[in-house]
Each structure stands twice: as C-alpha cells, then as structure tokens.
Amino acid sequence: MSGWIGSEADTDSSSTVSELSLKPGIINDQGTQTGRKITVYTRPLARLIEQLQRLPGVGPKTAQRLALHILKRSEEEVKALAQALIEAKRQVGLCQVCFHLSAEPVCEICRNTNRDNSTICVVADSRDVIALEKTREYRGKYHVLGGVISPMEGIGPDQLHIESLVRRVSQNKTGEVILAISPSVEGETTTLYIGQLLKPFTKVTRIAFGLPMGGDLEYADEVTLARALEGRRELD
C-alpha cells in the first residue's frame, strides 16, 4: 500500500523507539499514517540507493548522490549502464591458460603470438595484470593466482592456480618466471612457496622492492629502506 520507506538520518540521536527500527536503506512496510515515521525516499529510489550502497567505497551519501543523478539521466543511458553490468558479469570469465579476466576461453594476451611465450609473470590478481599492462614494459605472458596463501583466511596452495602454473612451466619451454606479488606477509609466503616449486624447472626471479620513484629517502620506512639497500645494483 505504501510506496515509501522510512530512512534514518545519518546523524541522529533523538530517535523514538519506533523510528529506531528503521535502518537506512532497509525497506519498511509499516503504515506511514502515524505521522511520526519519516518518509524520505520513494520505494524504487530507496531500492536503488540500497543497491548502490553495496558497492565498495559507496556510503549512504554517495549512494544518494549517484541515485539522484541516475534519475536525471535518460532511460537509454540508464539501460546502457544496466546492460553493461549484466553483460560484463555474464560474459567475462577466466582465461583457461592464465586465469586472467577474459570474455573468451583463452585471453587476448595468451593468444597474442607477438608476446614472449618463454616468460611468465605470476601475479595475485587480475588487477595486477592490468597495472603491469599499463606500464607497457612487459611483453611476456601472465599467470593469475587468484589470491595469496593465507592460513588465516583458510587459503592454501590448493585454492590458488598454482598447480596449473607448475604444469604450464614444466610442459612449455619457460625461460623465466617473474614473481610479481605484493610484499605482505602472505605475499612473501606465496613468493617463497612458488619459488621453491618452480626452481627445478626454470629460472625464477622476483620484482624489485625499494624506494618508489619520487619517494623521499628521509621519509621511507625502515623495511623499504632495508630492501632498497639489499637490492642495490652496480652502476652501469
């Protein structure tokens, strides 16, 4: 009967008991004729705000701003966004070879015959492939683990694409495997674990850690500085 929901103000301390039951974004079907319940968003708008709030980094205020913006766009534009969402989810899977995001069984990087097939760069996530591709420096192939070894979160080597990596390295003539995994505790564990596994088959390297470009030595943390010292190279 009511096309409305009640939504608490973000900063509110004077709620009555009946109002306290209304969480922001939660649809409430109770009668709205009490005169006390506040009716802020019309129902389809409330649903949209609730959905938008589930996105990472989107709070109630951002969700409201996005939703009101969307209502001002044309129906075609909104449909295009909705369709892009559904199609991306339906069509994008993982490459059978390297487990990078791909709309086809084997991804474009793996299919590209101009790329160096003898070098494999191992990363934790597809995001890392995207970041590395944007540097335009790397011309080899990739292997996406799908995470890092984390006993705390119950992620062991079996949950990652490590077995397929070992098979790939041992079956092909892989000249070098570059481990490009973030230097967290879990990342280090994963790097060392994979390094041990692959050493019998190929040369294994890892990316350099040190002072970031533009970084100030004075403000670098000790661990970074120690890594930078440790990884020093002779001047050409």
Contact 98, 110 (CB under 8 A): yes
CB under 8 A: which stretch of 72-80, 163-171, 210-218, 228-236 binds its own copies? 72-80
Smaller CB distance to its own copies: residue 74 or 171? 74
Q: Which DSSP helix (H) or strand (E) runs through 109?
A: helix 108-111
Query: Nearest CA to 158 among 171, 145, 174?
Result: 145
Residue 15 Cβ vs its own copies, minimum distance, rounded to whole Å: 9
CB under 8 A: which stretch of 61-69, 164-172, 177-185, 215-223 binds its own copies? 61-69
Contact 117, 143 (CB under 8 A): no
Question: Which listed residue (13, 75, 151, 232) binds its own copies by CB under 8 A?
Answer: 75
Contact 21, 28 (CB under 8 A): yes
Which residues from 197-236 bind its own copies, rule CB under 8 A? none
Tell me the backbone φ, ψ of residue 101, rounded to 5 degrees.
-60, 135
Distance, CA of 35 to CA of 31 (rounded, Å): 10
Which residues from 118-177 bind its own copies, rule CB under 8 A? 126-127, 130, 133-136, 139
Question: Is residue 20 a contact point for its own copies (CB under 8 A)?
Answer: no
CB under 8 A: which stretch of 62-70, 188-196, 211-219, 227-235 binds its own copies? 62-70
Question: Tokens representing 31?
Answer: 């009668």
Question: Which listed residue (18, 30, 91, 196) binds its own copies by CB under 8 A?
Answer: 91
